[in-house]
Structure 1
Amino acid sequence: MTVEAEVLNELHRLRSRLPELTGALAAGADGLVLAQDMPDVQPEGLAALTAAALGVGRRMVDLAARGEFRELLVRGAGGCLATYAAGPSAVLTLLADDGTNIGRLHLEGRRSGARIAELVAGRSADDRPAVRRGEPPTSPPAPSQAHGRILGALPVRIPPQSRYHP
């Protein structure tokens, strides 16, 4: 099963535990949707705004010397939006109706955020090339070597006289 499918399963489980949720979204810190269960909201737009809020939240706790970012709660007249860190590279955003038990929302949101962080971290570990015991890891060629081969094959045209460099 792919990481995205496992994250989506976690979102479904979360919504079954909290029926007052109207939507759940897991996104990368870059603003791309990992998985979503949001019937009435455009997930791509919310994922991008969530990533921006994550960046602002991280900066705020850093400036105030409050440690690592954990969560952000935004309340509107019709409900709330809660954002939870899901490791260093993902974020979980939940939409809930007005009157939702915020303590329960935080409890379940933190648990799901931790689970999503594990799933995303597992993908990162699986994406790395396997190294056999006793063998040094392989590394790509040094940038100067790679660029030299590529750029050496390209023709370079230098204008005879430029207005910027007489």
Structure 2
Amino acid sequence: MTTDAELRGELLAELHRLRQVVPEISGCLVASTDGLLIADDAQAVVVEGVAALAAACLGVSQRIADSAGHDDFQEVLIRSTGGYVAMYMAGHGAVLVLLATADANVGRLHHEARRATQVVSRIVAAAALTFAQALPEPARW
């Protein structure tokens, strides 16, 4: 069985890999869809606040997609004068958030992030399974 520390190490390795292959990424994090920080490789931002706001943004984005008659929401990109914030669903319970500079190649950012969401999704699913297996059996009457 994989330990929590090993799974967290895998997440951090993937976040670090992203920052290496896309140098314009200034920070990245993984959060639960309810806004709790899971892992981060970011500096100079309040990652807990970004995680909470990302969850709120994803909730609104999903509602917009649903209202438009589209299937499951997948990603959102925010462009500002300071750069980009990109959020990608990573399985059913997590979101990958990337912070990038204004000169980032958005195509490259999307390409690498979409690949990373598969890795993050697998790790988060494994962590949920590990947690579920560690729970005690319910009492039977």
TM-score (norm 1): 0.76
CA distance in 1, matches of 2:105, 2:57: 23
Which residue pairs with 2:25 in the alignment? 21
Do structure 1's residue 34 and structure 2's residue 38 form an aligned pair? yes
* Identical amino acids, percent of aligned pairs: 44
Q: Secondary structure at the match of 1:40?
A: coil
CA distance in 2, matches of 1:62, 1:111: 25
Q: Root-mean-square deviation (CA), in Å? A: 1.6
Which residue pairs with 2:127 in the alignment? 123
Do structure 1's residue 7 and structure 2's residue 11 form an aligned pair? yes
Any residues of structure 2 matched to 1:147-166 within 5 Å, and which?
A: none
Any residues of structure 2 matched to 1:1-166 within 5 Å, and which?
A: 1-129=5-133, 139-141=138-140
CA deviation profile, 1:75-129 (whole Å, cap 9, x unmatched): 0002110000001100000011112111110001111111100100111122223
Distance 1:85 1:140, change over 3 A: farther
Q: Secondary structure at the match of 2:133?
A: coil
CA distance in 1, matches of 2:103, 2:20: 17
Q: Secondary structure at the match of 1:128?
A: helix
**How far does residue 140 in structure 1 lie from its aligned partner after superposition?**
4.5
Structure with a larger share of its residues in strand? 2
CA distance in 2, matches of 1:114, 1:70: 12
Deviates more, 1:1-10 or 1:40-49: 1-10
**How far does residue 139 in structure 1 lie from its aligned partner after superposition?**
4.5
Q: Which amino acid aligns with 1:36?
A: D
**How far does residue 2 in structure 1 lie from its aligned partner after superposition?**
3.0
Number of aligned residues: 135
CA distance in 1, matches of 2:133, 2:46: 36
Q: Which amino acid aligns with 2:115?
A: R
CA contact (8 A) 1:5 1:35 kept: no
Structure with a larger share of its residues in helix? 2
CA distance in 2, matches of 1:62, 1:45: 26
Which of the pair has more CA radius of gyration?
Answer: 1
Q: Secondary structure at the match of 1:30?
A: coil
